[in-house]
Chain A
């Protein structure tokens, strides 16, 4: 298969996934038990003690249907939806925070989510893999067992317990971090950047620890298996150093599944880290999705889901495209 053909196939698949995802996102709310427009008008009627005239209701309905893209038959709505979402990233206004555009709400939250989660995902991955590699490569030594025990101990702790334990330990018993952060406002300065970092340290620590254990265990298992491979034995007999064998022979071969896992984790970063954002009052996409779900704010929910679909599909595409660079066997095919 030629390079162009390989790329075209992957890109085609990518757009097919996006199309199916967006189509489901469009049709899903149409099957929901609640009609948001009726709900909204009902709320307004209630506020007006049921005294809105039928003309006033018709005007409101017309205006709201326009705003929420519910005008015309299903096909017209679908075409208009694709046009708005794909070309303009426009999901209409939020129901709960009317008339704030959903795109604004998501775009405001995304930088917080991305900064925290990208950093912690990559750090947790790198640290976990480093420890796992050492533990796997030197698996016959006592120190390696100790490192594995660290992974075994951290990995099964439910994230909620881990996060609350950190909060109690570092924000209550030894109060060096805030219980609920107060992010500074106004023009950015060095001290404000420090405050943002300081306020983000505790949730970051929780996320790194949560990802750390799994990465240790999985990399250790991969490294142990790879260490037994004939080409590693051959390298040892050739007289290469431990460092060279560990990094160039074992790590390079063991890291492929880990890279896939990292890329998929990065894709799901766009969903936000729901529990982290709730427990640490961190202003990301997860918190927005949670508020939207409990408040029946369907537009926000579908906006966030769409971002997530695009992110996961893009992560998959990126993996597919960089795999040949990492693995000569795929390049060869």
Chain B
């Protein structure tokens, strides 16, 4: 019996150890040399349809498609906020004073991964198909509503006419922040599909970027990319040689296992790991690094900002006094420490505070914020928010070496936020007849209970979920009877899109001003996008529920201005100030994005002190990281 046991046990253990060695040795578990493979955690986790790779219909933008597989006419330099040509040979040539006609020249010598040349025929086919099947193709709405007509001049030249003046043609048809809406498809692959193109999966897609798909997991956990031998003649081969021969996008599972795998050097770049897990990983593996060596440690340069969106059309939120009372009754310092360990950058204007938006919008608004006075004479802005946060963190025992000092405080924690002043909150509420009842909560003017429904993302966005509960707690203490309601993704969209369903919610969708072109996000602020307070019709983008005709006029007038002109930027600042004066949205902070990296196999990632591109693996600008990283030789 014992002999039989040994007979069975020995090969079993042998096989186990062999498999383990295979998994943790020089090769990756997908059979590529680890030293030549950059491994990143997927943004979207496991997907159910990894074989769906048709960019006209499906969500084939994650797992490397946007960064490695596709290519766009113009890309965004995310370090500077400036567009540059990628498939195009130059910036679009404007053909008429109304800015509705454009000539685009393509770079010559660009080839698809199967060796067929990329030309205007591909653009022509992509556009014609998008227009022909626009009721069935779900990824074409952005540019089919922009383009009126187009005309192919020759193999490398195409002219466009837009439905309305387009001063941001290069970002509308190229990349504004995270990726392009317009993704050219190969005519020679798609055209033979005929009408079936609306259900064509395009599995093992022919790509235009310097990588092609080597393999993918049919269960949707991973996708492996291999650098093309002819990467130089790919869509962005002119950017330089991508250093990693292979790029593996993989979902390493829940945070528990991801953290352990990161400590074991099983992958190189993570996405949205929680501060606690990063701290634990750093403690066990010195190769693990955050975006910044000091607080707030993480990248704060996302295009969008987090804020409390308010249904301004619904009483009593239609009164600016109530909205200001909510802002001044929120202890953001404590909320940020509780929910985010203090790792956030406050942003008082309704947009993110980044190295790009700071000189454009925030710095010119310093005196506006400091001088801002409410109708009762109260000055709500607290320019010392950052230094007070530093003091609070010190008091909690955070090492001083981790905290910024001097001017770095503003760069790290923002130029200020609103005062936390429950007394002023009470005063403002009293001014509209809303006083506290015996239970300590504010009541409506008629004496009935005043309760607030506050929708926050559920498990699908844990950081916002945590932030939402912390805000709810802070407001409860200030006397607001807030019910924090977790919603799934579907209901989140419904609350966002429907007036009758919204009172307050945590959101980011309308506060995504990335560079001077504020119209990219605020062009939805127009009279047609206002609906009655009890309407159950879906909104069309005005999630802030702005009703101010003056704002609508500025948005409309700015349509005929160059998006980087002084006047255009001035108009954007004016809108930001108008939204702030009426506290039409309680903007909270730049989105804190944790992108820890592991230096074991690759170095020279984009960091605070080496910022050459947004460090996000799911933005198309990740291509800059691929040409800048260096192998360690391990």
Task: Tell me the A residues contacting B by CB distance below 8 Å.
Answer: 32-36, 38-53, 56, 59-60, 62-63, 94-100, 104-105, 108-109, 112, 164, 167-168, 171-172, 175-180, 182-183, 185-186, 194-195, 198, 278-281, 283, 287-288, 291, 293-298, 300
Contact yes or no, A198 B16, CB < 8 A: yes
Other contacts beyond A34-B491, A280-B257, A296-B490: 11, CB < 8 A: A38-B497, A45-B540, A46-B524, A53-B145, A99-B138, A108-B218, A168-B260, A195-B19, A283-B220, A294-B460, A295-B488
Q: Chain A interface: which of B46-54, B68-76, B78-86, B575-583?
A: B46-54
Show 25 residue pairs from A and B whose CB-CB distance is below 8 angstroms, ordered by the A residue.
Answer: A32-B491, A46-B509, A48-B144, A50-B526, A50-B528, A50-B540, A50-B542, A51-B146, A53-B145, A56-B144, A59-B135, A98-B58, A98-B138, A100-B49, A100-B58, A108-B48, A176-B16, A179-B253, A179-B257, A185-B215, A198-B15, A279-B257, A281-B253, A288-B48, A297-B490
Give complex CA distance A291, B490 in Å: 12
A182 and B221 contact, Cβ closer than 8 Å, known pairs A47-B141, A175-B264: yes
Contact yes or no, B57 A291, CB < 8 A: no
A281 and B221 contact, Cβ closer than 8 Å, known pairs A34-B493, A179-B260: yes
| Those of B456-486 within 8 Å (CB) of chain A | 458-460
Q: Is B45 located at the chain interface by the 8 A CB criterion?
A: yes
Chain B residues closer than 8 Å to A60, beta-carbon distance: 135
Interface of A is mostly: helix
Q: Is B24 located at the chain interface by the 8 A CB criterion?
A: yes
CB nearest neighbor in A for B218 = A185
Give complex CA distance A161, B540 in Å: 46
Give complex CA distance A34, B254 in Å: 28
Q: Is B337 located at the chain interface by the 8 A CB criterion?
A: no
Contact yes or no, A49 B252, CB < 8 A: no
Contact yes or no, A44 B141, CB < 8 A: yes
| Those of B215-272 within 8 Å (CB) of chain A | 215-222, 250-254, 256-258, 260-261, 264, 266
Contact yes or no, B497 A39, CB < 8 A: yes
Partner pick for B250 among A40, A167, A182, A294, CB 8 A cutoff: A182
Chain B residues closer than 8 Å to A176, beta-carbon distance: 16-17, 20
Chain A residues closer than 8 Å to B24, beta-carbon distance: 175
Contact yes or no, B16 A294, CB < 8 A: no
Task: Tell me the B residues contacting A by CB distance below 8 Å.
Answer: 15-17, 19-20, 23-24, 29-30, 45-49, 52, 57-59, 134-136, 138, 141-142, 144-146, 163, 181, 199, 215-222, 250-254, 256-258, 260-261, 264, 266, 458-460, 488-494, 496-498, 501, 509, 520, 523-524, 526, 528-529, 538-542
A198 to chain B, nearest CB (A): 5
Chain A residues closer than 8 Å to B48, beta-carbon distance: 94, 96-97, 100, 105, 108, 288, 291, 300
**Residue of B17, B57, B219, B256 most packed against chain A (CB within 10 A):** B219
Give the 7 A-B residue pairs with the shortest CB-CB distance, closest first: A296-B490, A283-B219, A50-B541, A34-B494, A42-B497, A59-B135, A50-B540
Give complex CA distance A198, B498 in Å: 49
Chain B residues closer than 8 Å to A44, beta-carbon distance: 138, 141
Chain B residues closer than 8 Å to A288, beta-carbon distance: 48
CB nearest neighbor in A for B492 = A296
Chain B residues closer than 8 Å to A99, beta-carbon distance: 52, 57-58, 138, 199
Chain A residues closer than 8 Å to B266, beta-carbon distance: 179
Contact yes or no, A278 B254, CB < 8 A: yes
Partner pick for A279 among B256, B498, B528, CB 8 A cutoff: B256
B612 to chain A, nearest CB (A): 29
B630 to chain A, nearest CB (A): 26
Chain A residues closer than 8 Å to B46, beta-carbon distance: 281, 283, 287, 291
Chain B residues closer than 8 Å to A104, beta-carbon distance: 49
Give complex CA distance A164, B215 in Å: 30
Chain A residues closer than 8 Å to B489, beta-carbon distance: 96, 294-296
Contact yes or no, A178 B497, CB < 8 A: no
Contact yes or no, A43 B493, CB < 8 A: yes
B319 to chain A, nearest CB (A): 27
Partner pick for A167 among B30, B138, B257, B526, CB 8 A cutoff: B257
Chain B residues closer than 8 Å to A278, beta-carbon distance: 253-254
Give complex CA distance A42, B502 in Å: 15
Give complex CA distance A279, B259 in Å: 12
Chain B residues closer than 8 Å to A53, beta-carbon distance: 145
A63 to chain B, nearest CB (A): 5
B131 to chain A, nearest CB (A): 11
